[in-house]
Structure 1
Amino acid sequence: MNIKKIISVALSLCIASSCLTLTAYAKENTTLAINKSDISHEVSPMLFGISLEDVSYSCDGGLVSNLVNNNSFEFATNPEYAWSFDGVSTVVSKENPICAANPSYELIKVDGKGTVENNGFAEIYKNNSYKYSKKSAETADMAFKSGVTYNFSCYVKNVDYDGKISIYLDSKSNKDNIVQVPTTTVGKNEWTKISAQIKSSSDEDGALAILFEGNGSLQLDCVSLCAVDSYGAGDGHWKYVTLRNDMVDAIKNLKPSFIRFPGSAGIGGGSVDSMMTWKDTIGDISQRRQSSSIYSSDENPYNNSNSMGYHEYFQLCEDLAAAAVPVVSAGITYQGEQDKELIADAYNKINMTDEQFTDYLVNERGFDEKDSDAIAKRTESVNKLNIKSIDDFNKYIDTVALKPGTDAFDNYVQDVLDLIEYANGDAQGTYWGALRAANGHDEPFNMEYIEIGSGDEGSIYQRNYEALYNAIKKVYPDINIITSAGEKADSEAVNTAITKSGSSFKAVVDEHYSADVDYLLQNTKRYDSYDREGAEIMVGEYSAVDDATSNVASANNIETAVAHAAFMTGFERNSDVVKMTSYVPAFAKINANSHENNLVWFDSQSLYYTPEYYNQLLFSNNTGKEYVNTSLNEDGIYQSVTVDRDKQVLYVKLVNSTNSTKKMSVNLDGFGKINKVSNESLAHDYKSAYNELGKQRVAPQEKAVDSDDSSFDIKLEKNSVNVIRIAYGSNNGDALYTFPKSLDLSVKKYVPTAAKVFIIVICLSIPVGGVAGFYLYTKVISKSGGKGNGKKNKKKKRK
């Protein structure tokens, strides 16, 4: 080939590669055969649920409608956190409080005029990061809605104050609307609840201001500001607490078969003395004991007001027709993974020299022998525990765990038994059943499950768990007990729990794991080999994030949603063993989060759903009663098929984790004539596509699929979750699940930064390439020594 043709072909290839986007299709359709004779086991009706816990302002500052942060001045490290004062003298006092469970209050001295303000639950990080922002943390963040009325209340005790108390919403449009609070019922030296209503004239954020005009001193506690249209308002079942409507809707949309609560954050404590029990969370808010969260920090002194108490969780379960799965401690304080390993290291070091301990850290714990600083730091941390003998170790354990056989443990066992009576006891014949009725619910909640521990493991946990198990089964033999199996997917704790729960201690085993995308895709068959005659499995906490993303919000994207969907096909396929699953965490406030892998993000005014939320929505609303065995040999494609023979609907889950569009043929045998096929899918061309507040790029869409009597072809977009519903027999398809009308499924375009840079480079290269091509043509091609006109021109030029 001469130089002219070589360069021409090269230029053509450059232009083609710059301007064309190639979509790969399989040469022939892959076929999925679905045969009625391959119907296998029943699908657990409890398969898809949700876990709720007060983390990242999920409850206080989120689900709970009260806009006041630190409402009772109970933050241990900073009792005036979120409050500011102007023109008054204040001091936090504990003398003669409302009750022993609520010991702190603010003593306020007024000399003329002054205000006390609460900023609400402020954001604490710079946008989409974990970088602390002092400015954000000090910016008022209560959401006021135009035309909405708010109920204000607080408890006061008059010492010698003579004057008025008023309130206003301290925001741009609302601050001039001052409402006086009636105080005629307030007497001296006794706590009195006072209240008023105030309306917002605009949608904006601000603070609650309490204005004092007079002289003297009074005490303030238990401050509340809730929208009158909050979920549960006016309903006698919600006697003490109301909830944020859009967050309740987010849970309701998922149609959870169960709600697990309150998670690790709600059952632990720093010591056995500070360990919470469910009794601290019921009754009037003023009588509840607050607790410091395990997620508290100097930057964000996070407290749990326990406004979202066990009773409220039970009531929410009943409202949403979800089974209640309360979690209680095994009488052990919360121990994170690092704490567990530190205690184990201290135990192993008892009979070791420093040199032997160094060898242990290197050979058994994986420390780098060249990293002397890390080894020294670990040794120092272990030495600080001052565990030098087995006796020292046992004494230390007694500070973090109650011990069976002691009065303290026996009392705790009774607390757990009382919880079951509170949930299920008769209102007329039992003490705790009567208290439940007094709190707003006459009939029993009919609780069937209880979980002991959350992410716990080890010999001390097993010791306490077995004692609690025996005590519960002795009184309530029909209660289903769930046991903890640690916080890692592949650990000895899982094997131990499964072995014991399949034999001497019949229980559901709760596995927890946080993984990455690759782990999920590589372990979709994790449960295929589990013993069908052994313990039943609950995956009470699982999730994965994209660690390669550039900001917090983008860690939950279409790639992670696809990976979860692939993994969830394994849940359905093995639902004869895997009985219950719940993704965590459910909620997080934007720029105030402890985790980035949340289903729903919210700020003071609104919220948005992540791709993973939509993935859970698709699965939980489209699952049959029985599993149908199918096989599919296509790399990167994962499938699950379930059927509801009563309703005559097949649910085909097809997950395409590849970067190519795939075409498939689906053939039915034995199910009758196909009447309607509909695909509810979640997809995006770019794996990194994610949602943000006001920028939804990924949302499910429904599309009708053409079919004949027993088959149809389907195109699976790249990076997609496809839930194909097939109505057959006498079902015309009109009753198939449709997305709630309240869901906004509109999407905006998304192009990742890398792609934008590439496009710019290509656009810039086209004119440059054109100039270069013209230069090459005029200087090289047209003057090349090839055959034809070139030679003739050259000869003419010589003349």
Structure 2
Amino acid sequence: MHRIRLLTALSAATVLALPLTHATPSLGADGRAAVPEPDYTITAHAGESGPEISDTMYGVFFEDINYAADGGLYAELVRNRSFEFLPVDNRSYTGLTAWTPRAVGGGAGTATPVNDGSRLNERNRTYLQLSLANTGGGTYGVSNSGWNNGVALEAGKRYDFSVWARSDTAGGTPLTVSLRDETGATAYADPVRLQVNGDTWKKYAGTFTASATTDSARLWLQGEGVGTLRLDMVSLLPEDTFMGRENGLRKDLAEKIAALKPEFVRFPGGCLVNTGSMSGYDASSAWQRARAYQWKDTVGPVEERATNANFWGYNQSYGLGYFEYFQFAEDIGAMPLPVVPALVTGCGQNRATDDEALLQRHIQDTLDLIEFANGPVDSEWGALRAKMGHPEPFGLTHLGVGNEENLPAEFFERFAKFRAAIEARYPEITIISNSGPDDQGALFDQHWAQNRAAGVDMVDEHYYNSPTWFLQNNDRYDSYDRNGPKVFLGEYASQDNKLFNALSEAAYMTGLERNADVVRLASYAPLLANVDHVQWRPDMIWFDNDQSWSSANYQVQKLFMNNVGDRVVPSEASGKVIEPKPITGGIGLSTWATSVAYDDVSVTAPDGTELFADDFADGDAEGWSPLANRGTWSVVDGAYTQTDATAQDTLVRAANITASDYDLELEAKKLAGAEGFLVAFGVKDSGNFYWWNIGGWNNTRTVVEKATNGGKETLVAREGHSVETGRTYDVRVEVRGTHVRLFLDGQLFQEFDDDQVTEPFAQVVTRDEATGDLIVKVVNAQADPAVTRVDLGVKVASRAQMTVISGDPEEQNTRTAQPIKPVTSTIRGVDSSFTRTFAPYSVTFIRIQTR
């Protein structure tokens, strides 16, 4: 057992509510400060050996989400450099997105994105046509706003410009390229002057040296004279990229990732991998967009790579492609871990291909990928790797097939074919399967049953839950089969970037390490977020066009990743925990992109005593108040109705049920929209409640979610269930303490028991075999200091190095302030047995030398 339970009256919500307090030592008979009685004990058995910790234990997961690639890790400063932004990527896009036509000094002309036979190549189809009419002098052209409404420059730094161009004007067209402000009045570098000659595509280049520092420059391109000037692949890259690489990575972001010392890099996604069309590019058909990420689209000369509609609602250029991912992993000493589609879509799309030829093509593409990474220079794909500048193999050892599929049977049928083909040719490759998008439920169980039965090497688990979930599930992997597939925890986070979230993840990571014989790889997700383009939060590293900052979660991850150790030292801990409390509070009605009518709402005690009732017969809903300022609620035809079928996350509340046992009953009817209806109970406020989401996820599943301080976790799920429009459903929620049964039209539909204990104190001890150090890792995710007796069972040095991250649990790092950071000091008085008070809301690492 991981921890002895000592009961306390604290509730889970109280963990955040208590004030910061510090213990004041009492005085002993000799007048000296007495050692306080410990609240916790840690007993380590330093003479024994626990599980070996994998040398790939912690890594990073990169997905092009939140503009993480273009405008982020990829150093390109020009947005929409090849004029390929189209409405299929985002409804607001045009070929001139981020570009502004400019006439200077009386110049004239037109700027038009064109896709015709004069294109640069079949994969780079749209170009900019400048029809120049500068008959009275002056120039005409365009300017580019860069990312985050500005091109960032640093005084003294060099920037390489290039463009592919052609001109139909005899004698050519002079083209002036400059870095200026929005008005054009202020120059930030001497201009680059080019002469575009001939009506065939050629690459032209030049270099700027910035004369000033700014985050709001524009790249100006101005043509002289008359005629047609065609431009494509307009690029501006800093020479000062990470490791000085051409077509390289933004230095500050890459350095922050490298500072984590990740042991692997998982790429290119997530939902990018298994969404969209699985077909490839076909030059004989219309240009295909919204394809699943396919590695062959992303290699070779940059101007010949595809662009694609990103699943997260924008365009991705593939300037950062598979070669660059492999190279980055090598540069930071990490193992590359690519993930390929298994031809079963996920992330809400839920389709499986029956095209055997297409499946076989993807299997061959995967074999070709391994050859690209590891093959000799005289092989087809090894030769391409060498031509791109890396004749040595990249040393690929692990490969993921598929990502978060909601169709486990269809997925595994296809996965088995990938696996057989890979093992036949490359038996040394570890092939990673997955367990779907949730941490539990029928789909999760089916995925795992298939993986176990087939003897799969490793299974990729993903989950995003509340901090409370992480504090309640430290022992998740204690019960996993030690002889079954190993676990790759490929995506996890606690749904915010506050210190308390980071501490809950830290507590959970002690459990990952304690179970290092099962959990072999783990990576927080997502990695990067452009502060002005956010599709998902929380994120580890935030940035704008010239700054980046580390979240509290980053600081915790870095502390663990830089102090892993080689082997777990067996240890036990005892102390206070937080016992569950009955589910009480208000009741609520909600909708998500759906119009719903609710009626005959009642709450009764088990003996029939009425606790609340509203049939809306009087035409009003005075007892109800909105907790989210969304949607349009009113009484219509004797029912409380939310009429806006586009509004998301609406919520109204009534009553305050203090009884531990009660029944909530009502009628619900979907009127229009994409989903079903949501019934809430145990409502404390807008961030703390339970709701039964009937017909959620585009009307494909029914789930009970628990919200804690704004973060949601799934308690129970049923797949394949949808709600009919116009049909009235009888809904009943039966609450008995922490046990809940849910009935739909009189039939038991789902049930759960929210009875897990919350453990705000967690620990693990590991050994660094190179130095002999013991690393004692302690998390105290509560308002009280934790007076702790530590028994190591071995002689140690009296001085040790201690690193602490602590602070206000609601605090987070921002662009303007980063209060959450580690503090390292030397402590004395360490012995084989010693007492230490761990600060409120803290994670502490103590490195102790053994004698």
- TM-score by structure 1 length? 0.73
Judge which range, 616-625 or 501-510, deviates more: 501-510
SS of the equivalent of 1:495 reads helix
- 2:129, 2:229 within 8 Å by CA — same for their partners in 1? yes
Give the paired residue count.
608
Aligned equivalents of 2:361, 2:20: Cα separation in 1: 69
- 1:50, 1:256 within 8 Å by CA — same for their partners in 2? yes
Among 650, 670, 685, the residue aligned to 2:774? 650
Judge which range, 710-719 or 170-179, deviates more: 170-179
- 2:21, 2:783 within 8 Å by CA — same for their partners in 1? no
Q: Quote how far apart the aligned CAs of 1:438 are.
A: 0.3
Q: Say if 2:797 is the partner of 1:674.
A: yes
Aligned equivalents of 1:317, 1:101: Cα separation in 2: 27
Q: Which amino acid aligns with 1:674?
A: A
- 2:340, 2:400 within 8 Å by CA — same for their partners in 1? yes
Q: 5+ residue gaps in structure 1?
A: 1-19, 123-139, 297-301, 341-396, 546-554, 730-799
1:208 maps to what in 2?
219
1:267 maps to what in 2?
273
Q: Which amino acid aligns with 2:227?
A: G
- 1:174, 1:202 within 8 Å by CA — same for their partners in 2? no
1:49-88 mapped onto 2 (5 Å cutoff): 49-77=59-87, 78-87=94-103, 88=109
2:719 maps to what in 1?
none
1:2-81 mapped onto 2 (5 Å cutoff): 22-24=21-23, 27-29=36-38, 30-77=40-87, 78-81=94-97
- 1:665, 1:712 within 8 Å by CA — same for their partners in 2? yes
2:446 maps to what in 1?
496
- 2:21, 2:785 within 8 Å by CA — same for their partners in 1? no
| C-alpha spacing 1:418/1:659, structure 2 compared with 1 (3 Å) | same
Q: Quote how far apart the aligned CAs of 1:73 are.
A: 1.1
2:320 maps to what in 1?
308
Among 562, 568, 573, the residue aligned to 1:632? 573
Among 368, 386, 394, the residue aligned to 1:418? 368
SS of the equivalent of 1:197 reads strand
Among 519, 523, 535, the residue aligned to 2:473? 523
1:287-326 mapped onto 2 (5 Å cutoff): 287-296=304-313, 302-326=314-338
| C-alpha spacing 1:174/1:251, structure 2 compared with 1 (3 Å) | farther
Q: Quote how far apart the aligned CAs of 1:86 are.
A: 2.1
Q: Deviation per CA, 1:609-642, whole angstroms, max 9, x where unpaired? A: 1110000010001111111121111222100111
SS of the equivalent of 1:664 reads strand
- 1:499, 1:535 within 8 Å by CA — same for their partners in 2? no
1:247-262 mapped onto 2 (5 Å cutoff): 247-262=253-268
Q: Deviation per CA, 1:392-417, whole angstroms, max 9, x where unpaired? A: xxxxx5xxx4336x222222211111
- 2:20, 2:840 within 8 Å by CA — same for their partners in 1? no
Q: Quote how far apart the aligned CAs of 1:690 are.
A: 0.9
Q: Deviation per CA, 1:548-581, whole angstroms, max 9, x where unpaired? A: xxxxxxx411100110001111100111001100
Aligned equivalents of 2:156, 2:829: Cα separation in 1: 51
1:372 maps to what in 2?
none
2:533 maps to what in 1?
592
1:115-134 mapped onto 2 (5 Å cutoff): 115-122=141-148
2:726 maps to what in 1?
none
1:567 maps to what in 2?
508
- 1:38, 1:628 within 8 Å by CA — same for their partners in 2? yes
Q: Which amino acid aligns with 1:640?
A: V
1:280-429 mapped onto 2 (5 Å cutoff): 280-296=297-313, 302-333=314-345, 335-337=346-348, 339-340=349-350, 397=351, 401-403=352-354, 406-428=356-378
Cα RMSD after superposing both structures: 2.0
Aligned equivalents of 1:437, 1:21: Cα separation in 2: 59
1:227 maps to what in 2?
238
Q: Quote how far apart the aligned CAs of 1:189 are.
A: 2.5
- 2:261, 2:562 within 8 Å by CA — same for their partners in 1? yes
1:718 maps to what in 2?
840
2:174 maps to what in 1?
164
- 2:54, 2:566 within 8 Å by CA — same for their partners in 1? yes
Q: Say if 2:162 is the partner of 1:153.
A: yes
Aligned equivalents of 1:409, 1:37: Cα separation in 2: 53
- 2:42, 2:574 within 8 Å by CA — same for their partners in 1? no
Q: Deviation per CA, 1:112-136, whole angstroms, max 9, x where unpaired? A: 12131111122xxxxxxxxxxxxxx
- 1:25, 1:662 within 8 Å by CA — same for their partners in 2? no
- 1:25, 1:661 within 8 Å by CA — same for their partners in 2? no
SS of the equivalent of 2:463 reads strand
Q: Which amino acid aligns with 2:321?
A: G
Q: Which amino acid aligns with 2:222?
A: L
Q: Quote how far apart the aligned CAs of 1:483 are.
A: 0.8
- 1:609, 1:691 within 8 Å by CA — same for their partners in 2? yes
Q: Which amino acid aligns with 2:779?
A: V
- TM-score by structure 2 length? 0.69
| C-alpha spacing 1:409/1:647, structure 2 compared with 1 (3 Å) | same
| C-alpha spacing 1:605/1:632, structure 2 compared with 1 (3 Å) | same
| C-alpha spacing 1:179/1:114, structure 2 compared with 1 (3 Å) | farther
Aligned equivalents of 1:505, 1:403: Cα separation in 2: 25
SS of the equivalent of 1:463 reads helix
Among 560, 582, 604, the residue aligned to 2:523? 582
1:360 maps to what in 2?
none
| C-alpha spacing 1:265/1:190, structure 2 compared with 1 (3 Å) | farther
Among 683, 687, 691, the residue aligned to 2:809? 687
Q: Which amino acid aligns with 1:206?
A: A
Q: Deviation per CA, 1:351-381, whole angstroms, max 9, x where unpaired? A: xxxxxxxxxxxxxxxxxxxxxxxxxxxxxxx
| C-alpha spacing 1:413/1:445, structure 2 compared with 1 (3 Å) | same
Q: Which amino acid aligns with 2:765?
A: V
Q: Deviation per CA, 1:435-482, whole angstroms, max 9, x where unpaired? A: 100001010001001101122231222222121111111111111011
Q: Which amino acid aligns with 1:275?
A: A
- 1:174, 1:201 within 8 Å by CA — same for their partners in 2? no
- 1:678, 1:725 within 8 Å by CA — same for their partners in 2? yes
Q: Quote how far apart the aligned CAs of 1:206 are.
A: 1.9
Aligned equivalents of 2:770, 2:173: Cα separation in 1: 70
2:563 maps to what in 1?
622
Judge which range, 488-497 or 52-61, deviates more: 488-497
1:789 maps to what in 2?
none
Judge which range, 599-608 or 484-493, deviates more: 484-493
Aligned equivalents of 1:669, 1:75: Cα separation in 2: 64
Aligned equivalents of 2:263, 2:431: Cα separation in 1: 17
Q: Quote how far apart the aligned CAs of 1:708 are.
A: 4.6
2:122 maps to what in 1?
100
- 2:371, 2:381 within 8 Å by CA — same for their partners in 1? yes
Among 450, 453, 458, the residue aligned to 2:402? 453
SS of the equivalent of 1:413 reads helix
Max radius of gyration: which structure? Answer: 1
Structure in which a larger fraction of residues adopt strand: 2
| C-alpha spacing 1:447/1:561, structure 2 compared with 1 (3 Å) | same
Aligned equivalents of 2:526, 2:499: Cα separation in 1: 17
2:717 maps to what in 1?
none
SS of the equivalent of 1:605 reads coil
Aligned equivalents of 1:120, 1:306: Cα separation in 2: 17
Among 241, 246, 250, the residue aligned to 1:244? 250
- 1:181, 1:194 within 8 Å by CA — same for their partners in 2? no
Aligned equivalents of 2:96, 2:772: Cα separation in 1: 60
Judge which range, 47-56 or 496-505, deviates more: 496-505
Q: Quote how far apart the aligned CAs of 1:24 are.
A: 4.3
